[in-house]
Amino acid sequence: MPKKLNIGLVGYGFMGRTHSNAYRKVNNFFELDYHPVLKAVSGRNAEGVKKFADQWGYESTESDWRKIIDRKDIDAVDICTPNNLHKEIAIAAAQAGKMILCEKPLSMDTKEGEEMVAAIEKAGVANTVWYNYRRAPAVTMAKQLIDEGRLGRIFHYRANFLQDWTINADLPQGGTALWRLDAAAAGSGVTGDLLAHCIDTALWLNGSITTVNAMTETFVKERMHNLTGKMEQVKIDDACTFFCRFGNGSLGLFESTRYARGHKALYTLEVNGEKASLKWDLHDLHRLQWFDHKDEGRLRGWRSIHVSDGDQPYMKNWWVPGLQIGYEHTFIHQVADFLKAIQEGKPCPPTFRDALETQKVCDAVLSSAKEEGSVKKV
């Protein structure tokens, strides 16, 4: 008999959809003891939340997230709200003994993140933060190759996350879809929203970051605020570039912007080691570019590995070799790993504590940028 895991989803925007899709599909493909049940979804707009519940198959709706926390029939709370609500919801959920799955970034800043980690660890509840790109099979394979020592000593880590959706100066800030442009709701701009992904993957693949040196820019200084109806100063970073040192002695270079015309969601990473290098690109997510110096000289070159064979991470759960999966599956993998982890009584990384490390790097980056590129220890 499968064990039911009753999910209470808080917030139902883009991420609410990706997570709901993952809960619905996971047991079709992964054999697990736990089966998520879409028990309740909460949101302030009664009509919107009802429509979402009907579309995705939630059994009930609530107009206040506190009701989700109070409900005895909810086992796990999934936080998909703007960032400024993560802390309060996570701490309340932990105190109520609920498992927690929280959208990234963990918090508005390190201080909030520390309070969240303390509450979660005190309550001893299962937790994870949705840094989904770790679970693209090619990225998981990159981790395996690095851990096997195939790159040898690492010299360089490079990552970009480029978008172009905020170039239009008429785009307002604040409100339902555009809270990412409002510092009061988001905490930061591309640093917390996009670079946080790059930092999470980097910490996972290449270990701790010790010092950072950053610059940010806000290209559009004022935008109409949807909540006040007035032109207001834009307080988020539109673009951020930083370089850093890793604990293993390698150097890192990171860039993120929402002003790179032509790039919709280009997340790329590259790692250069003594023996080999690898590259990954979200727009070609099943390819791992691989250069191995030990290859015969005449044939040495960049190899494009199509990570879709049955023996690659996660792929055995999907179709036959060569038939690709996509973005949505990174979330299905995270749910599968979470369900397996609670089955085995193990943590499901990135946990809140892991995500706090990303938060610390983001804070150091923003504080360095404030002083126009001064070196900051993480």
User: What does the binding site for ligand SOE look like in residue numbers (CB under 6 A)?
Assistant: 163, 193, 197, 265
CB count in 10 Å sphere of residue 177: 12
> Smaller CB distance to ligand SOE: residue 201 or 277?
201
Element (H, E) at 253: strand 251-257
> Smaller CB distance to ligand SOE: residue 263 or 376?
263
- Which residues of 116-238 form beta strands (DSSP E)? 127-130, 154-162, 209-217, 222-224, 231-233
> Smaller CB distance to ligand SOE: residue 163 or 201?
163
Q: Residue 8 has which token pair?
A: 């209470």
> Smaller CB distance to ligand SOE: residue 69 or 138?
138
H helical segments located in the chain: 14-29, 46-56, 65-70, 86-95, 110-123, 137-147, 183-186, 190, 196-206, 327-344, 352-370
For residue 175, the minimal CB distance to ligand SOE (Å) is 15
For residue 190, the minimal CB distance to ligand SOE (Å) is 9
CB 252, CB 243: distance < 8 Å: yes
Chain residue at closest Cβ approach to ligand SOE = 193
> Smaller CB distance to ligand SOE: residue 20 or 163?
163
Q: Rounded to whole angstroms, how far apart are CA atoms 97 and 125?
A: 6
For residue 350, the minimal CB distance to ligand SOE (Å) is 14
For residue 138, the minimal CB distance to ligand SOE (Å) is 16
For residue 291, the minimal CB distance to ligand SOE (Å) is 27
Q: Rounded to whole angstroms, how far apart are CA atoms 279 and 291?
A: 9
